[in-house]
Amino acid sequence: MIQKYVYGNPFPTEAVITEVPAEEGSPVYGSITEKDGFCFTYIMDEQDIVYGLGESNRGLNKRGYRYISNCTDEPHHTEEKLSLYGAHNLIVIAGEKNFGLFFDYPSTISFDIGYTKADTLTVSCKEADLNLFVIDGDSPYDIVKQFRRIIGRSYIPPKFAFGFGQSRWGYRTKEDFREVVTEHRKNNIPLDMVYMDIDYMQDFKDFTWNEETFPDFPEFVQEMKAQNIRLIPIIDAGVKVEKGYDIYDEGVKNRYFCQREDGSDYVAAVWPGDTHFPDVLNKDARTWFGDKYRILTEQGIEGFWNDMNEPAIFYSKDGVEEIKEQMKEFLAQSDNAEANSSHSDMSILALTEKMNKLSGNEKDYQRFYHMVGGKRIRHDKVHNLFGYHMTRAAGEAFERIDPGKRFLMFSRSSYIGMHRYGGIWTGDNMSWWSHILLNLKMLPSLNMCGFLYTGADIGGFASDATRELVLRWLALGVFTPLMRNHSADGTRRQEFYQFEDTEDFRHIIGVRYRLLPYLYSEYMKAALQDDMYFKPLAFDYPKDPMALQVEDQILLGNEIMIAPVCTQNAKGRYVYLPEEMKFIKFLPDGTVSEETLKKGHHYVEIALNEVPLFIRSGKCIPLAGTAEYVDAIDSGHMTLIGYKGAEYALYEDDGISKKYAPLEQCRVLAIS
């Protein structure tokens, strides 16, 4: 049962698309004050677990810390960070009482989940203008499924997007791309996509390509396609300010950019230098911006990634002016012979702090406006919707460009509702072991909020990766719908062929392609039934007290459990089995080892070049032969591994049109 409570005058976020009538009175759980903003308080039982919050820091169980939904270009995902790129305001309290809460509020909102006081959950925001959805259910899993039904079907990518994609910020020329493809093919490392980061553009201008480094761009797209490779370009939120650049000129002329209070177009510096933000919350501007994707689809492009759409601001003129002022003061003080040295130390610190706050400064988000339904609304009041609406612009445009076709689309920033238009990647992580675990923990939480097509930068974006870390990360990446190796310019190269003993990488990615019919089938079942692809163990084993605590193993689909190794130099790891399972290892010689393990704790050995998974009691999964790209997978000749007598219902479709197959028509495969 879902109840909606309306406070003040909420902004229509369109996160929820099913009509839920508004209730009178107050929710049965917790208490609410609307005096200084909005505050929800609930006293938790000692045993209560709190799930949700999608892309956020720390554990699967969110209890014991605080989190702030405020979409931020945050490149340092250290434990104390309260906000990352997304705003996913669903929490589910699981215990004696089970209920979910969705705070549909598009600006900054804080979740204190036993941080200030161990037993107290407080959710608060500055303005009491929001919709609160309260979901009652038998279990957290049931609550999530109900929630997913009201927010609409999750985005479904084309099947090729389940292949492996290579990316790096720093590929600049056709030759760079050709080399990536040649090296993969030469080393027989499967590959379906190569991502184009900002350097393909002309001076970082959206929807352009550099004619010097990419002459005959459409021919190049076809050259890649002939090798079964899709090029996936990045699109950034900011449009370069440059007279004569048609997108800039059109946006200015039609007033499609976000404006300052005085009506001038707002200027923020991002990669191209000064940019304007398309007002994607305004329907006309959104349609205009979305239609620009056509410039690239007409060249044969079938997928995109939307970036810097929190929106990221490196600095603004106002911010720089403030610093200049402070600098003047500081210089005057230093010149003043009477100023003592400690005083000037303090000024230096203040100045440094100011410099550090230049980027992503909250004051800048108060300096521009959107035009929604004829009304001006200050950006900070709807800040968390920008990435969602940029991706919505693209999603709506794809419907116009080719309504029957699926395009690949994922974004960095998001809000619930965006899950209908695209997936997300989890942004600028580091080549750190702790980030493999963070990646794993985010996956089920993201699924709860509707984001099924998701994955992290495998191998880590910033800092230098090691061979061991990349291999271990890859053994998790094999299971994430979005499987992409991405890294920052200037870091150690981490394409798989850069490392010694490339065959280990070839083997692990090969396992992805062997599992792909199963992974795709489970993804489609989850998407078509508003279900989860990744689940915490607790969702399927709610009565098992041990399962409730497991944070480093998750369920995938209905047949398997995954438990990657996330520790340097480890030869294996401890796992907890909530029931008897078959421990499967994909060995480097192409064979599969199988061992039945009883319910309970086990130490399992997992070599660096092996991929482990666990098949649940009474289940089986299909396995294809490996392939160099998705279309080459032969699903006509598959074997099954798992429990004798088990059956698996395989979902299949053409992988590119929106004519999804009815689930009743799944092909039933059985182990003989």
Interface residues with ligand GLC (CB under 6 A) are 169, 197-198, 234, 307, 412, 427-428, 486
- Residue 273 CB, nearest approach to ligand GLC (Å): 14
- Residue 234 CB, nearest approach to ligand GLC (Å): 6
- Residue 639 CB, nearest approach to ligand GLC (Å): 38
Distances from the Cα of 416 to the Cα of 20, 65, 150, 311, angstroms: 17, 22, 11, 16
Toward ligand GLC, which CB reaches closer, 197 or 610?
197
- Residue 453 CB, nearest approach to ligand GLC (Å): 16
Toward ligand GLC, which CB reaches closer, 402 or 464?
464
SS3 67: strand
Q: Which long-range contacts (CB under 8 A, 24 or more apart) does 33-36 make?
A: 34/7, 34/8, 34/128
Toward ligand GLC, which CB reaches closer, 311 or 612?
311
How many angstroms separate the CA atoms of 56 and 376, rounded? 31
Toward ligand GLC, which CB reaches closer, 115 or 169?
169
Which helix (H) or strand (E) is 329 found in, with range? helix 317-335
- Residue 481 CB, nearest approach to ligand GLC (Å): 18
Cis before 311 (ω within 30):
yes
Residue type, 214: F
Toward ligand GLC, which CB reaches closer, 136 or 274?
274
The C-alpha torsion from 177 through 179 and 185 to 189, rounded to 10°, is: -80
Residue entry with tokens 């163990």: 537
Toward ligand GLC, which CB reaches closer, 74 or 104?
74
Q: How far, rounded to the nearest angstrom, does the alpha carbon of residue 327 sit from its chain's CA centroid?
A: 39
Residues 6 or more apart whose CB falls under 8 angstroms from that of 302 comprise 158, 160, 230, 407, 408
Pairing of strands 109-113, 65-69: antiparallel
Toward ligand GLC, which CB reaches closer, 84 or 143?
84
Please report the DSSP string for 588-606 in residue order: TTS-EEEEEE-SEEEEEE-
Toward ligand GLC, which CB reaches closer, 234 or 633?
234
387 token code pair? 């990435």
Toward ligand GLC, which CB reaches closer, 51 or 453?
453
Residue type, 80: E
HEC sequence for 157-193: CCHHHHCEEECCCCCCCHHHHHHHHHHHHHCCCCCCE
Radius of gyration of the chain (CA): 25
How many angstroms separate the CA atoms of 34 and 373, rounded? 27
- Residue 308 CB, nearest approach to ligand GLC (Å): 6
Question: Would you say 46 and 181 are in contact if contact means Cβ atoms under 8 Å apart?
Answer: no
- Residue 206 CB, nearest approach to ligand GLC (Å): 12
Among 483, 481, 437, which residue's Cα sits nearest to residue 458?
483
Toward ligand GLC, which CB reaches closer, 129 or 428?
428
- Residue 486 CB, nearest approach to ligand GLC (Å): 6
3-state helix, strand, coil in the chain (%, to 5): 30, 25, 45
Toward ligand GLC, which CB reaches closer, 279 or 428?
428
Among 600, 596, 560, which residue's Cα sits nearest to residue 579?
600
- Residue 165 CB, nearest approach to ligand GLC (Å): 12
Toward ligand GLC, which CB reaches closer, 98 or 491?
491
Hey, which bits of 29-119 come out as E strands? 31-33, 38-43, 49-52, 65-69, 86-87, 90-94, 99-104, 109-113
Residue entry with tokens 């900011």: 238
Residue whose beta carbon is closest to ligand GLC: 169
Toward ligand GLC, which CB reaches closer, 201 or 615?
201
Question: Would you say 552 and 566 are in contact if contact means Cβ atoms under 8 Å apart?
Answer: yes
DSSP code of 547? G
